[in-house]
Structure 1
Amino acid sequence: MNDVLDIFRTLADPTRLRILALLRQMELSVGELAQVLGQSQPRVSRHIKILADARLIDRRKEGSWVFLALGDPARLDPIFAAIDAWSVDQGDHWGLADVARLAAVRADRAAAAERYFESQAANWDAVRSLHVPEAEVEAAMARALGQRPLGRLVDIGTGTGRMLELFGARAQSALGVDRSPEMLRLARAKLADRGVDLRQGDMYALPLDSGSADTVILHQVLHYAQQPALAIAEAARLLAPSGVFCIVDFAAHDHEELRSRDAHARLGFDDDQIARWFAAAGLDGGAVDSLPGDVLTVKLWLGRRPAAIKDLAA
């Protein structure tokens, strides 16, 4: 009973209800949340502490930023069911204004990333090689994927098409998706005679059918994602039973300068984060390799779509 009272006391404030509603849409930093709410960071931080103490939200520090996400779904689902049942169809004034300002935050993030990608397209492969030598990363990927046929291969955020160049010959079909037309132009020039397919698309809404891939690669892309959990869920949607999802990205670090210099949205990831996101997307798996560099460590995580019942019985 005391736990129930704590939850209702916590939610007896319109700002804290607004914070929960915003975090249902996407993870936000404290600064972004203050921007959307139109309140000072100290004031927003007090509300965040109350929500975190009630175990309704989680806080995660990345460098000098703190990112906020919803807490345990088992704790929050009944709350959101009640809120949704009691809400009026047309929404309230503050809710509509928050949605509009949140869209502006998303647009600012996307525009900054797109400017960076356009400026770096011509030397993208060189940019990627600034950390652990790319040959070492590619060898680790080959080990992780094993000798099995890759089937229908999809490379999300394909950039200049290096993953398709490397693994396309082992696949029944190979397709790369990228949001940047300039990146795709360079990939088409590089892969003109490889028989691969290239499409423009967003990693949060891929132009592909569910279950249409046997192998999905997300190579050095996730740290640019505004919503990494959503990007993983969307990639996992593509996997057929027994399909494999390979993520290559940085281990968690504190090199804050990468946000402004290289448009990184996230300062790497830890194994528990990826494992939770895999589980939420219906995948088994976790970390399979770690490649320390002079500054950053590259990690490989492998997720698998469980086999269908008929496959298990065979």
Structure 2
Amino acid sequence: MVAPLEIFRALADPTRLRIFVLLRAMELSVGELAQVLGQSQPRVSRHVKILADAGLAARRKEGSWVFLGLGDETDVAPILGALDIWQKGHVDHWQTADAARLAAVRADRAAAAERYFDQHAEQWDAIRSLYVAETEVEAAMRALLAGRRIGRLVDIGTGTGRMIALFGHEADSALGVDRSPQMLRLARAKLAEAGLGAAELRQGDMYELPLPDGSADTVILHQLLHFAQMPEAAIAEAARLLAEGGRLMIADFASHEREELRTDDAHARLGFADEQIRHWFAEAGLQTEAIEELKGGELTVKLWLGHRSGEKAIQRKAA
């Protein structure tokens, strides 16, 4: 626990207070903070160091990039609570301006990713196959999800619809969501070929899904999370869809140092550690049920399965 005096010294500077509030919204790099604040990167770095020394900010290195987020919850939560109370009814012009510029940063990130998806839509399945044997991943996913019926299936970032093609015949209903209209057009064609023309496809954002709470029994994030600028928010939104006993399956890469995937293939995150996913599951109200590691390709694939506790867990479909 950091001494209160150090915390208040760190927040005494207006710029550091602005940074603290921005990091509450999302993880950012120093360059993105500089863009939002309109200040030089060296100056922002000095402010970040003071916040980190006071336990209010934390650095996380990924390849040549460093992402910044809030510090330990025990130090940060009381400050956030106080800010919420103090700011009630007050309009801060700096905070309003920062929020607008932060929205621009988010839009830039999303536009870059969407350009990539649209440009590579036709080759998307081939691009995925470069990293890991999909047949092995799919078999492992099937094994982890066995034992209880799929129920209402939602595939977030459905791409070409592969996960719906894999699990849709066993589901009571199947719905795929993707931001890219071109991806959805491809998915419709592929699913029709697979005899799943009744599957529903919708355009939508992983952070704001066009679906009500508790509307799914099985949610899948397959090779999507490494494109997420805010993976914890994507997990929380996916978890929101789960009914009692519902399960969230994430298939993605373990932490790695393949920096070229960020620059060449629009990866926002260079994989994930188990402790990160466990923490995000817990924050989203899910229990970690299983973790599986699949080696053999250029990158290691991990499967993380979480579930929402409740008495109404869906049972195995009757034979």
For the aligned pair, the TM-score class normalised by the smaller chain equals over 0.9
Give per-residue Cα distances to partners, 1:89-141, cap 9 Å, x unaligned. Answer: 45333222211211111111011001000011111111111111111111111
Residue 151 of structure 2: aligned partner? 151
Preserved contact between residue 225 and residue 231 of structure 1 (Cα < 8 Å): yes
Cα gap change, 1:275/1:88 in structure 2, threshold over 3 Å: closer, same or farther?
A: closer
What's the TM-score once normalised by structure 2's chain length?
Answer: 0.93
Partner-residue secondary structure (3-state), 1:191: helix
Extract unaligned runs of 5+ from structure 1: none
> 1:239 deviation in Å?
0.6
Residue 316 of structure 2: aligned partner? none
1:18 is the counterpart of 2:21: no
How many percent identity over aligned positions? 69
Describe how 1:74-223 pairs up with structure 2 within 5 A. 74-87=74-87, 89=89, 91-192=91-192, 193-194=195-196, 195-223=198-226
What's the TM-score once normalised by structure 1's chain length?
Answer: 0.95
Number of equivalenced pairs: 310
Partner-residue secondary structure (3-state), 2:39: coil
Residue identity matched to 2:103: A
Residue 249 of structure 1: aligned partner? 252
Extract unaligned runs of 5+ from structure 2: 314-319
Which of residues 281, 287, 292 in structure 2 aligns to 1:289?
Answer: 292
Partner-residue secondary structure (3-state), 1:47: helix
Residue identity matched to 1:176: G
Preserved contact between residue 271 and residue 286 of structure 1 (Cα < 8 Å): no
Partner-residue secondary structure (3-state), 2:250: strand
Residue identity matched to 1:91: V
CA distance in 2, matches of 1:97, 1:284: 38
Residue identity matched to 2:147: Q
Structure 1 segments of 4 or more deviating over 4 A?
none
CA distance in 2, matches of 1:115, 1:2: 44
Q: After the TM superposition, which of the residue ranges 32-41 and 88-97 deviates more from structure 2?
A: 88-97
Which of residues 276, 279, 282 in structure 1 aligns to 2:279?
Answer: 276
Residue identity matched to 1:263: A
Cα gap change, 1:103/1:293 in structure 2, threshold over 3 Å: closer, same or farther?
A: same
Cα gap change, 1:26/1:144 in structure 2, threshold over 3 Å: closer, same or farther?
A: same
> 1:37 deviation in Å?
1.3
Partner-residue secondary structure (3-state), 1:205: coil
Which of residues 246, 251, 265 in structure 2 aligns to 1:262?
Answer: 265
Partner-residue secondary structure (3-state), 1:32: helix
- CA RMSD in angstroms, aligned pairs only: 1.6
Residue identity matched to 1:250: F
Cα gap change, 1:181/1:271 in structure 2, threshold over 3 Å: closer, same or farther?
A: same
> 1:293 deviation in Å?
3.5
